[in-house]
Chain A
Amino acid sequence: MSLGITIVSHVPEIAEGLPKLLKQVAGDVSITTAGGTNDGDIGTSMEKIMQAFDDNEADNILAFYDLGSAKMNLEMAMEMSNKKVHLYDTALIEGAYTAASLIQAGVGLDEIEAQLKPLTIKD
């Protein structure tokens, strides 16, 4: 089982910027992003999220998002994707950073999830 990360944000720059931070501690982890609508406006796009899942080199994806409607589009994309996607309601930056550093360190999914749990801030 290989683990990767997908970041979903309403803002293209947030989605593109966060991996720069993660790559500092997780140079070998596949990180893909979906930011903004299909037109590049503020919002999220199910198609972009599907593409981010497809582009990710891992077969198990840990997905992080910013606000509510990103989660809805994520869930729809998950229902249509062949990949195994795990969705976390954590603070976006802290959650993704924790996951990235643990994946890089070779930690398994169960232990990663245990460490993500206290970072949960959304439902």
Chain B
Amino acid sequence: MTLTVDTLTSWMNNFADKIEVNKQYLSDLDTPIGDGDHGFNMSRGMEAVREKLTTKPVDLQAGFKNIAMALISTVGGASGPLYGTAFLEMAKKSSSTDDLGEVLKAALAGIQKRGGAKPGDKTMVDVWSELVPEVKAGTLSKDKIERAVESTKDMVAKKGRASYLGERSKGHVDPGSESSGYLFEALLETEGLL
């Protein structure tokens, strides 16, 4: 696992591409159980990230921090502070290690602290908590990512806008889990990262 400024940049550009292609789908997922803007919010955020990374960051920590600040100031919805916090925690952790599993573990802890969600609450935490150990173990696969995302479908939302729907939130994939799935897919596909 070699996390460098270059692999980080490819990973983020790859993630931005996936968000761009699927922004309508993400917003459609968000319509029955949320406020219908997840895809457009993430797309605005990732375009800001892509733009920011056109200037090469001095080191990994600066790279992660730039990504975090771009997301925090442009996303608007809950995913701004959540993804923003994830990348801020990755920035902090990357000063002491370039082990991707360790860095992602710190990100997950940050997401949980910020949003207060636990596994099973039908949030991005369900995907992250399932997949971070897979990254650490070197066993991440497309199949596992899909299963983690799909597992949120039958859950009842306990956090976020979908929680106001209670039982009615069942039967829909959580949009934040889907976009997190793209982040892990992008990671899997980035040459030299895993």
Contacts and interface: CB of A to CB of B under 8 A. Distances in A.
Contact of A68 (B74, B80, B84, B159): B159
Size category of the B interface is 20 to 34
B116 A123 contact: yes
Contact of B80 (A39, A69, A75): A69
15 contacts: A41-B76, A42-B35, A42-B76, A43-B80, A44-B76, A45-B73, A45-B76, A68-B78, A68-B159, A69-B78, A69-B80, A72-B85, A73-B81, A75-B114, A76-B85
Given A37-B76, A38-B73, A69-B81, 12 more contacts: A41-B76, A45-B73, A46-B72, A67-B161, A68-B115, A68-B161, A69-B77, A72-B81, A73-B80, A76-B72, A76-B84, A76-B85
Interface in B82-118: 82, 84-85, 114-116
Q: Which of B81, B84, B160 has the most CB of A within 10 A?
A: B81
Nearest to A46: B72
A47 B84 CA distance: 13
A47 B78 contact: no
Contacts of B76: 37-39, 41-45
A114 B164 CA distance: 27
Interface residues of A, number: 18
Interface in A14-66: 37-39, 41-47
A72 B73 contact: no
A46 B81 contact: yes
A42 B80 CA distance: 13
Interface in A63-89: 67-69, 72-73, 75-76
Contacts of A42: 35, 37, 76
What 8 pairs between A and B have smallest CB-CB spacing? A43-B76, A69-B78, A72-B81, A37-B76, A73-B81, A72-B114, A43-B77, A76-B81
B131 to A, nearest CB: 22
Contacts of A37: 76
A76 B77 CA distance: 14
A44 B74 CA distance: 10
Interface string B142-161: 00000000000000000111
Contacts of A68: 78, 115, 159-161
A75 B80 CA distance: 13
A69 B159 CA distance: 10
A45 B85 CA distance: 14
